[in-house]
Amino acid sequence: MINSTALNVNPSNPPDHHGEHGDLELRPGEIAVGVIIGRVGEFFDFFVFGIATVLVFPALFFPFATPTEGLYYAFMIFALGFFGRLLGAWLFRIIYDRFGRATKLTSALFLLGTSTVAIAFLPGYAEIGAAAIVLLTALRVAQGIAVGGAWDGLPSLLATNAPAHRRGWYAMLAQIGAPLGFLVATGLFAYLSTSVNAQDFVDWGWRFAFFTAFAINVVTLFARLRMAVTPEYEELFQASELTPSPLPELFRLKAADIVLGAIAPLASYALFHLVTIFPLAWVILDPDQFDLADVYALQILGAFICLGTMLVSGMVADRIGRPKTLWWGAVLIALFCLPAPFMGNTVIGALLFIPAGFALLGFSQAQSAGAINDCFEPRYRYSGALVTHELSWLLGAAFAPLLALVLSEHLGNAGVALYLLSATLASLLALQLTFRRKAAQNRANAGE
């Protein structure tokens, strides 16, 4: 039940929450819980597929290829899910318009759960040949469509209603589901891969992770429905103007904001996969030098460090603002690129690369969604944040493991560092242009 004595809104644009239900007032912490639960479930699914992409799918679905070629093919399928997310955002917009938020969210999460659990039953290439690859690809795209359709608007509602002096903190809370989901997924795979021999793990052990993902989807479905589709919250969405805006109008009037908002977090999104998914490829390509248990341990440690730097980011953002925090995060990632070529191809280098990368990821990623929300006024925030969010993931994260693998094979770690540096420079340029646009807008408003 929504607390009736704890309203926190933007004082410069206070929504009118008076409706037929009386005074509807909102506690941001209550929304934050719903956001965290939803994001943990979403990222758990995300990382279960991502980890299996490296450790299982090359051997199970591409046994005819070399280990490197198998990783290429698996990373291509992994990337297709991000195209599905944009498609899902559009398809489920139609469902929203015709049937409402509850039907949209329920059907999207049902599709996510069924496509995820269906992957657990897939036979390998040895059993049905190329059909196994086709089925895996189709289910990966279905996962992406479901994630794009499962956007519930709660992060935007949280950003709109958080106290003005704590918006950096609440923006951070919307992101901590990523390291939490990664911790659960990595811990589960670490247990499964050490409980059975290597062949049994590839044959059937990995499938339990996808069964677990289905169970978590059921829990998050009810938790998110309780938060997002009750009459009280429906009225709050309406009062905060968090409803879909016409897409032609959005693209006509807000194209520049969408592009800049999608590019601004590229540094953190590119780094995201370079510390979570890509290091597992070291174990496949160089098993004599890298032990899987050691990489798991480093990544689990890194995820805890990521949580800590996210908390720091929330406090810093409340002092200097979210865009500036994201800008400093990109600067730190750029500096990180300088020694990166010397850090990733030895055990000692990995000891430094993975935890340091997670630390920077937490500081930068924590404010990425908040910066996107800042790009749009309330009328366009729901649809603008959704389109920008999915476009940013596509540009920054979809091909990061594949590009990192190609570059490392041909140019070594210097190539990976240059790729990350290019994403960082794009982020800094987009943020600088955003600062100038906001300054010009403020001058224009002052002259009115």
Cβ contacts of 23 within 8 Å, gap of 6 or more: 4, 17
Cα–Cα dist 274/287, whole Å = 19
Find out whether 164 and 318 touch, Cβ atoms under 8 Å: no
* Phi and psi at residue 150, to the nearest 5°: -85, 5
Cβ contacts of 384 within 8 Å, gap of 6 or more: 245, 250, 254, 257, 258, 261, 375, 376
What's the pLDDT score for residue 22? 40
Cα–Cα dist 55/60, whole Å = 9
Cα–Cα dist 77/239, whole Å = 41
- Per-residue pLDDT tens listing for the chain (448 residues): 334 333 333 433 444 443 333 444 556 767 777 778 878 888 888 899 999 999 999 999 999 999 999 999 999 999 999 999 999 988 998 888 888 877 888 888 889 888 999 999 999 999 999 999 999 999 999 999 998 888 876 776 776 677 777 878 887 887 888 899 999 999 999 999 888 888 889 889 999 999 988 888 777 777 777 666 666 666 666 666 667 778 888 888 888 888 988 898 899 999 998 999 998 988 888 877 778 888 899 999 999 999 999 999 989 988 888 888 888 999 999 998 887 666 555 667 777 888 999 999 999 988 876 666 666 777 787 788 888 888 989 998 899 999 999 998 888 778 888 899 999 999 999 988 888 877 777 676 666 5
Nearest alpha-carbon partner for 279 in 401, 361, 411, 398? 401
Cα–Cα dist 380/377, whole Å = 6
* Phi and psi at residue 22, to the nearest 5°: 90, -155
**CA 365 from chain center: how many Å?**
9
Quote the Cα angle for 164-179-38, to 5°: 65
Cα–Cα dist 116/50, whole Å = 12
What's the pLDDT score for residue 124? 93
Cα–Cα dist 151/112, whole Å = 12
18: helix, strand or coil: strand
pLDDT one-digit tens code per residue, 51-103: 999 999 999 999 999 999 999 999 999 999 999 999 998 899 888 888 887 78
Quote the Cα angle for 422-427-430, to 5°: 125
Nearest alpha-carbon partner for 177 in 354, 27, 35? 35
Q: Which amino acid would we find at residue 307?
A: L
pTM above 0.95, yes or no: no
What's the pLDDT score for residue 344? 52
Cα–Cα dist 66/408, whole Å = 16
Q: Which amino acid would we find at residue 114?
A: T
Q: Which amino acid would we find at residue 41?
A: G
Place of tokens 């000891």: 351
Q: Which amino acid would we find at residue 313?
A: S
What's the pLDDT score for residue 341? 64
Place of tokens 């890194």: 302
Place of tokens 């279960």: 48
What's the pLDDT score for residue 51? 94
Nearest alpha-carbon partner for 63 in 134, 107, 129? 129
